[in-house]
């Protein structure tokens, strides 16, 4: 590490440094704009479907009716995870973390898809389809296995959102919930080069196979400062328990220099456009269930954090109460993020394979130099 530019970049944790060229997604943090392949997230949330967005992220354009139908049937035909992987999951300790289980289960899918080792477009795309179809199957299966329930086989007549809720709960979601969940999957699909996206892309640049790259992405997503924040938000709301206690809870947390989960973003310095939708859904679920306390507490915390710190909620803040009021237990919250983000991960991996430019940052060495080795007896 020698130049001033490199040194500054390292000190700032690569903030603002371009590590790859991509046409998949872009975040304008100042204005709160997120686009996927040129389309504003609000337009996609309003009009599109998760499957259409998957096509968009993989192919760079929206599909026509025939192309969408072909993708739908490919994905639905791949919903079943290998029986061996489900059997393996049944051996795991029931208290294993759902993201650790998902990481291991997804990694093991690799053994059953030899073609998926190829990094050429045809083989990589086939692995992307399988991963996208099966990650929800694995996430739902684990929630049932750990709770001593039977694993629900996928229903090929359902889309990804409907099928996930069906496999998780054993009953079909109503049309309102299915649509809302589909939009949640759209909102979480891509976020430029954030931690897990960068991780998958960095792995892909070595021509590691699709399963290995996605496994690395899941590991990065699991952290509480990334995808794990949605679970942490709901735990916080449960701990606070009541709207009356929100002010004191936030004051104490800030006095103790604790972070309020679901608040703040490395790039958005204004409203995260995804939070706009999720706030609306949380409110909708509060009205639908007749239980307003989770939404009310969230709204109060949002207000307090804006007043006290000038900060805004991110995607995880209102997704927590939305999922909770949909009757989804906490354990699959972060795996649900992966059920959506698989589309962005695989999109970035495909893009990296197609134009495999080197990504090789440097570390600014701040350790000692020229030390003389002292044999162990002399230390």
Residue positions annotated with a catalytic role:
265, 316
Block residue for tokens 């739902």: 140
What is the three-class DSSP state of 266?
coil
- Would you give the DSSP letter of residue 258? P
Q: Using the minimum distance from each CB to ligand COA, give the nearer residue, 268 or 295.
A: 268
Phi-psi region of 248 (alpha: psi -120 to 50; beta: other; left: phi over 0): alpha
Smallest gap from Cβ 241 to ligand COA, in A, equals 20
Question: Closest approach of Cβ 12 to ligand COA, in Å?
Answer: 10
Give the other-Cβ count within 10 Å of 296's Cβ.
17
Rounded to a whole number of angstroms, the minimum distance from the CB of residue 274 to ligand COA is 9
Q: By the criterion CB under 6 A, which residues form the site for ligand COA? A: 225-226, 229, 259-266, 309, 314-316
Q: What angle do CA 315, 60, 68 make, to 5 degrees?
A: 90
**Residue with Cβ nearer ligand COA (54 or 315):** 315
Q: Name beta bridge partners: 354.
A: none
Q: Give whichever of 208 and 236 is closer to ligand COA, judged by the CB atom.
A: 236
Of residues 201 and 265, the one with the C-beta less far from ligand COA? 265
Alpha-carbon gap, residue 45 to 274, rounded angstroms: 9
Backbone torsions φ then ψ of 311, nearest 5 degrees: -110, 160
Task: Report phi then psi at 356, rounded to 5.
Answer: -80, 75
44 vs 260, beta carbon nearer ligand COA: 260
Whether 263 and 225 have beta carbons less than 8 Å apart is answered as no
Give the DSSP H or E segment for 36.
Answer: strand 33-36
**What contacts 137, CB < 8 A, 6 or more positions away?**
79, 80, 81, 154, 167
Shortest reach from residue 192's CB to ligand COA, in Å: 12
Q: Which residue has the tokens 């639908």?
A: 288
Q: Least distance in Å: CB of 184 to ligand COA?
A: 14
Cβ(99)–Cβ(334) under 8 Å?
yes
Q: Which residue lies nearest ligand COA, judged by its C-beta?
A: 264
Give whichever of 128 and 278 is closer to ligand COA, judged by the CB atom: 278
368: phi then psi, degrees, rounded to nearest 5: -75, 165
* CB of 99 vs ligand COA, minimal distance in Å: 14
């Amino acid at each position: 590490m020698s130049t001033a530019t490199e040194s500054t970049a390292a000190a700032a944790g690569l903030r603002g440094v371009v590590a790859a060229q991509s046409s998949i997604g872009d975040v304008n943090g100042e204005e709160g704009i997120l686009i996927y392949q040129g389309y504003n997230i609000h337009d996609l949330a309003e009009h599109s479907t998760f499957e259409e967005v998957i096509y968009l992220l993989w192919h760079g354009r929206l599909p026509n009716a025939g192309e969408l139908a072909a993708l739908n049937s490919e994905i639905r035909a791949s919903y079943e995870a290998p029986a061996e992987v489900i059997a393996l999951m049944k051996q795991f300790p029931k208290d294993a973390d759902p993201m650790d289980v998902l990481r291991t289960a997804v990694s093991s899918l690799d053994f059953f898809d030899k073609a998926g080792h190829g990094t050429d477009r045809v083989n990589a795309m086939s692995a992307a389809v399988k991963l996208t179809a099966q990650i929800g199957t694995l996430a739902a299966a684990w929630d049932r296995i750990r709770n001593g329930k039977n694993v629900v086989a996928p229903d090929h007549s359902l889309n990804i959102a409907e099928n996930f809720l069906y496999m998780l709960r054993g009953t079909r979601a109503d049309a309102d919930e299915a649509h809302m969940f589909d939009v949640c999957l759209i909102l979480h699909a891509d976020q430029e080069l954030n931690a897990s996206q960068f991780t998958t892309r960095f792995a892909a640049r070595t021509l590691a196979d699709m399963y290995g790259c996605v496994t690395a992405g899941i590991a990065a997503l699991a952290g509480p400062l990334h995808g794990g924040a949605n679970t942490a938000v709901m735990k916080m709301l449960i701990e606070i328990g009541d709207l009356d206690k929100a002010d004191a809870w936030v004051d104490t947390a800030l006095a103790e220099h604790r972070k309020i989960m679901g608040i703040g973003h490395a790039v958005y310095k204004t409203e995260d456009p995804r939070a706009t939708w999720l706030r609306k859904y949380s409110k909708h679920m509060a009205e639908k269930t007749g239980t307003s306390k989770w939404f009310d507490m969230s709204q109060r915390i949002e207000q307090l954090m804006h007043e006290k710190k000038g900060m805004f909620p991110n995607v995880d803040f209102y997704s927590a109460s939305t999922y909770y009021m949909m009757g989804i237990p906490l354990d699959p919250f972060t795996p649900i993020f992966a059920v959506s983000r698989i589309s962005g991960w695989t999109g970035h991996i495909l893009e990296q394979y197609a134009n495999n430019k080197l990504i090789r940052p440097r570390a600014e060495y701040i350790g000692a130099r020229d030390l003389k080795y002292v044999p162990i007896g002399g230390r």
